[in-house]
Structure formats: C-alpha cells, structure tokens
Amino acid sequence: MPSDDRGVIDVIDTGALPAGFLPLGEDTEAAGHATAEWLDQLDALARDGSFAATIMGPISTGSLKMAGKLDKVISPTPGESYLVLLTGPLRVAHLTDHMPLRQVIDVITADLVASAIGQVNDAMRSWGITHPRIVVAGLNPHAMGDEERLSIAPGVEQAKAMGIAVEGPVAPDSVFRQCIEGRYDMVLAMFHDQGHIAVKTWGFSGNCVIMMGPPYLHMSVAHGTAYDIVGTGKADSSMMLSAMRICGQLASGQGFGGETK
C-alpha cells in the first residue's frame, strides 16, 4: 500500500530490469523491454484512476528500437495529440512536431487549427485555468500569406464561434514575447522549431513538457538521456523538478502559477 507520509516516495518495481543489470551510458535491448513494460504500466494505472497524472523521465528510443518497442512512445499526431512546452510564463503548444516544413504547409487546415485550439482550451480548463487566453502564431513573416488567409484565420474564427477566447494569426516574430509579457496563457505554434527555438532561448533549464492526447495529464522533460555525462554528477535536475511541481499544480486544478485565472 502507498505510504501517507509526505516524506516518503513510493516505488513500484515490476522486476522488468534484473538487479545489477545497468551498464552506464549504453542502449540495451533489455532496457528497451523494461522501458516498454513501465510505460504500459504507467498508462494502465493512469487510465484506471490510480494516478491523477504521470511523468515520464528521459528514455532512450535507441533501446526501445532494439527491443522492437518504439511504438510505446506517445508521439504528437496532428488532430489527436500535441506537444506543449513550458518555461516560466512562456507556454507553447505545437500544431505539428517532427515534420518537414514542406509537409507542414499541406497539413495546416482550418479544421485542424480549430480542433487543436479546442483541445488546448479544454485541457487548460481541466487544469484550473477557467478562462484560457490562447493565441495562434502565423506561419509566414508578419503572419501574411496564403496559409494565414485560407487556413489559420478561418480556423481561429471557427474556434471563436465555439466561445473560445483566441486571437490570431499573430506575427510569429512577436507572439512569443506577448505570451511572456502575460497577454496570453498559451501560444499555438505551427511547427516544431517555431515553438522550440522560442522556449529554449527564453529559458532552457527548468522547462518541461506536456503531451496532450491521452485521457490523463501526461508530462515529461525536454531533454534526452545525456549518455555523454552519465556518472559525472553534472546532470541538471531542474527540468524533472519543474515537471513534478507543475504536474502537481495542474492535476489539482491550480493552473500554471498555483492560481486559477
């Protein structure tokens, strides 16, 4: 049974990774199988209500690939799941993730933009932000292009018609600063680097990740396994600590800053 002592961290050990089998800084098939089993257990316990939220530490896709379990990682899929990066006052959801820019242009539609805005709005309300303020970044310089006129702006209008407080498209060279200054609670970026560059420039250490899509709050960190510094004592724990702190706030409906808006 879990301990009620706040000073105790309960650990569930499935025995998936044999004791003593931990070669440092290496991908192994055994580690891939163990990671896959842990991810399955995490998902099952969250879905049955045992946990209010989950946090995934940095995992090696190399080990998962060796084990043939790469499908266990939740990947952003437009229309289904979205990656959200958080760093202080800057919060960015991504309409698309690991996708070539030529393909991004073809993927952006009014319906997809409206659907993503709706999903972001619903998630934020469930986290305790009662009146989310969302802004949509443009794709082109100064948000002036065919994509803005034919897809992004119509998608924003669809979301407004649903009663969502959303603005855009806003010029991508200024929209992130406007979020940092408190004008908005979340930016919807059009592609991976558009959002990631802003987040990692504003505040890399301490940022963390939300994967919107699963029917529960699922968070992670915005870095990999850092095999090159394993065992050196140089690892930066601030991102995991930030993920834990923010996950607790959101899961308990306190919003991003501990207060609802």
pLDDT at 260 over 70: no
Residues 6+ apart with CB under 8 A from 188: 92, 93, 94, 95, 113, 116, 117, 120, 134, 135, 136, 137, 168
Q: Return the pLDDT at 1.
A: 66
d(CA 15, CA 191): 39
Q: Per-residue confidence at 15, pLDDT binned at 50, 70, 90?
A: confident
Q: Return the pLDDT at 13.
A: 85
Q: Return the pLDDT at 20.
A: 76
d(CA 84, CA 185): 12
Mean pLDDT (the chain) is 93
Question: Which domains can be identified in the chain, with CATH numbers?
Answer: 26-73 (no CATH), 75-251 (3.40.718.10)
pLDDT digits (tens, 9 = 90+) for 113-158: 999 999 999 999 999 999 999 999 999 999 999 999 999 999 999 9
For 146-200, give the DSSP string: HHIIIIIHHHHHHHHHTT--EEEEE-TTTHHHHHHTTS-SEEEESSHHHHHHHHH
Cβ neighbours of 14 (radius 10 Å): 10
Q: For residue 186, list its beta bridge partners.
A: 134
pLDDT at 234 over 60: yes
pLDDT digits (tens, 9 = 90+) for 147-197: 999 999 999 999 999 999 999 999 999 999 999 999 999 999 999 999 999
176 is written with which tokens? 């992130």
pLDDT at 261 over 80: no
Q: Return the pLDDT at 231.
A: 87
**pTM strictly above 0.75:** yes
